């Protein structure tokens, strides 16, 4: 059994991760660290959970002795302080190591993830955006990329702010970080392409959709583009290439990314739609997918 610990277990992503790991047939929960909730029951914070698990606050030394792997579901800036002290394997769900560690997008880096000591889980927007782009990375037909992202309010976390305020989001769409979103750096590094990106938050809780506008350098057909994508993802367990336009209902509560649309307009602009559950494929279930690879399990273990 894999002994797994979570630091930051009481946040939205930490809770989703805990639920997945608790049901995973090859995992035993070693710790559910929450600095502010240690000793409290999980169901005290999340009433929908009916078990008796409690939050812990184990020291780094205790974690090193008790666990085989630790998931850092912490705020940005915290993980880079904790990681050097850990002697066990790490999956960091924050943004701290995405430009320096093995990038945990299994559809791209499966071999590297298997042997990594530290894996940086991709950002939620970056996951959907990169999966919509990667098949064209080697085809030399892309001039420029503009991505419009829309996410549920869970992406803004639990701490109250303008992007998760029920009052502000009611009958509304809120744009933010118009040209400087933190996920752009990892999108550009991993894709090797220049990308412009603007995110928006909506009032629904979970699910993220990217509309990717790709300006092509030469004429091609919808069918040829779709063929490239189907070939690239033919062995990808959690990518669905669709003829229809994906919606959030295609992916909510799953580890799948649905990719479709594939329309080209008169200006040689290719439009691709990608959809994921931001809390799962965009965070917690993708982390479990990476853990499975790191410990020699089937990629799908505990996720289907």
DSSP 222-258: HHHHHHHHHHHTTT-TTEEE-SSPP-GGGTTTSS-EE
Per-residue pLDDT at 159: 56
Q: pLDDT tens for residues 134-178?
A: 999 988 899 999 999 999 877 656 555 555 555 676 788 888 878
With beta carbons less than 8 A apart as the criterion, state whether 202 and 169 touch. yes
Q: pLDDT tens for residues 199-235?
A: 999 987 799 999 999 999 999 999 999 999 999 999 9
Q: Which of 124, 153, 210, 257 is catalytic?
A: 124
Mean pLDDT of the 100-112 span:
97
Indicate if the pLDDT at residue 56 is higher than 80. yes
Indicate if the pLDDT at residue 69 is higher than 80. yes
Per-residue pLDDT at 122: 97
Q: Report yes or no on 25 lying in a domain.
A: yes
Active site residue 124: yes
Q: What is the CATH number of the domain that holds 53?
A: 3.40.50.720
Per-residue pLDDT at 158: 54
Query: Same domain, yes or no, for 144 and 268?
Result: yes
User: How much is the mean pLDDT over the chain?
Assistant: 94
Query: Same domain, yes or no, for 78 and 157?
Result: no
Query: Same domain, yes or no, for 113 and 40?
Result: yes
What kind and span of H or E run contains 20? helix 12-23
Per-residue pLDDT at 19: 98
With beta carbons less than 8 A apart as the criterion, state whether 275 and 207 touch. yes
Q: Residue 104's domain spans which residues? A: 2-121+283-294
Query: Same domain, yes or no, for 112 and 168?
Result: no
Per-residue pLDDT at 166: 58
Q: Report yes or no on 271 lying in a domain.
A: yes
Per-residue pLDDT at 155: 62
Total-model pTM:
0.94
Query: Same domain, yes or no, for 129 and 222?
Result: yes
Query: Same domain, yes or no, for 96 and 31?
Result: yes
Per-residue pLDDT at 183: 87
Query: Same domain, yes or no, for 132 and 256?
Result: yes
Per-residue pLDDT at 205: 78
Question: CA 217 from chain center: how many Å?
Answer: 30
Q: Report yes or no on 302 lying in a domain.
A: no
Query: Same domain, yes or no, for 261 and 211?
Result: yes
Query: Same domain, yes or no, for 106 and 237?
Result: no
Mean pLDDT of the 174-184 span:
86
| Residue 110, token pair as written in the block | 């499966």
Query: Same domain, yes or no, for 105 and 144?
Result: no
Q: At what angle do helices 12-23 and 284-294 cross, to 10 degrees?
A: 40
Per-residue pLDDT at 171: 83
Between β-strands 269-276 and 89-92, what pairing exists: parallel, antiparallel or unpaired? unpaired
Query: Same domain, yes or no, for 6 and 17?
Result: yes
Q: Report yes or no on 303 lying in a domain.
A: no
SS3 string, 60-101, reads HHHHHHHCCEEEECCCCCCHHHHHHHCCCEEEECCCCCCCCC
What is the count of structural domains for the chain? 2
CA pair distance 43, 50, nearest whole angstrom: 6
Q: What is the CATH number of the domain that holds 232?
A: 3.30.360.10
Per-residue pLDDT at 263: 96
């Amino acid at each position: 059994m894999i002994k797994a610990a979570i630091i930051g277990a009481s946040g939205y992503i930490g809770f989703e991760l805990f639920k997945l790991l608790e049901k995973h047939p090859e995992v035993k929960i070693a710790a559910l660290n929450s600095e502010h909730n240690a000793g409290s029951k999980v169901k005290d914070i999340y009433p929908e959970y009916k078990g008796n698990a409690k939050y812990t606050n184990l020291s780094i030394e205790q974690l090193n002795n008790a666990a085989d792997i630790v998931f850092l579901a912490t705020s940005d800036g915290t993980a880079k302080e904790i990681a050097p002290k850990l002697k066990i394997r790490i999956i960091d769900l924050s943004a701290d190591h995405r430009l320096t560690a093995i990038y945990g997008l299994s559809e791209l880096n499966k071999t590297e993830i298997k042997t990594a000591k530290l894996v940086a889980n991709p950002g939620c927007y970056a996951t959907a955006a990169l999966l919509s782009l990667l098949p064209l990375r080697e085809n030399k037909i892309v001039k420029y990329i503009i991505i419009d992202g829309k996410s549920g309010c869970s992406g803004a976390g639990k701490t109250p702010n303008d992007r998760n305020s029920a009052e502000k989001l009611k009958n509304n769409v809120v744009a933010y970080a118009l040209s400087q979103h933190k996920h752009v750096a990892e999108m550009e590094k991993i894709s090797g392409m220049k990308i412009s990106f603007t995110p928006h938050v909506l009032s629904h809780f979970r699910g993220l959709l990217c509309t990717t506008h790709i300006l092509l350098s030469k004429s091609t057909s919808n069918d040829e583009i779709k063929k490239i994508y189907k070939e690239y993802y033919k062995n990808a367990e959690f990518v669905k290439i669709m003829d229809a336009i994906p919606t959030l209902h295609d992916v909510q509560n799953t580890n799948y990314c649905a990719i479709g649309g594939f329309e080209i307009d008169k200006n040689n602009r290719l439009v691709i739609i990608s959809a994921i559950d931001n809390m799962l494929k965009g965070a917690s279930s993708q982390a479990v997918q990476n853990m499975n690879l790191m410990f020699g399990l089937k990629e799908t273990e505990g996720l289907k």
